[in-house]
Amino acid sequence: MINQLITKHLSKAFDGALKDTVSTFTGTRKGGQGYYDPELGEYVGATNVTYTGRGVASSYNDFEIQASQVDINDIKFICLQSEVTIKPQIDDVITQDGKQRNVLTVASDPASATWVVQLRGINVE
């Protein structure tokens, strides 16, 4: 029940008050349904898995940076679980606003309404 309530209000906020900060994204996971060949150093017979969603990018506070493995340039990306087609995983690549970033961590809020994803830039200045 609390999950549905939070999801409903966050969806409305994403469409209303937060509209200017919300961005769509595409996630890509390499190697779905294939196997890793160590001699080639790549996945064989693999297809990429693609998913989409909406989220809000934020920065980490000083305490989070000092207390963990968070780089000063990492992004905290909060996305609605109900709008993400599959759960992001570590090592996925998320493309948001034309920038690609690696997924380092994925966590859920206590109500399971959002994913909190730590992103680190690949080709971000």
What residue segments make up the domains of the chain, in order of their start? 2-121
The mean pLDDT value for 33-46 works out to 79
Q: What are φ and ψ of residue 122, in 5° steps?
A: -100, -60
Which residues are 51's β-sheet partners?
27
State the architecture of 2-121 in CATH terms.
Beta Barrel (2.40)
pTM of the model: 0.81
pLDDT by residue (tens digit) across 58-107? Answer: 998 888 888 878 888 899 999 999 999 999 999 999 999 889 999 999 99
Question: Can you count the helices (H) and strands (E) in the chain?
Answer: 2, 8
Residue 125 banded pLDDT, cuts 50, 70, 90? low
Helix (H) or strand (E) holding 78: strand 75-80
Residue 120, pLDDT score: 94
Residue 114 banded pLDDT, cuts 50, 70, 90? very high
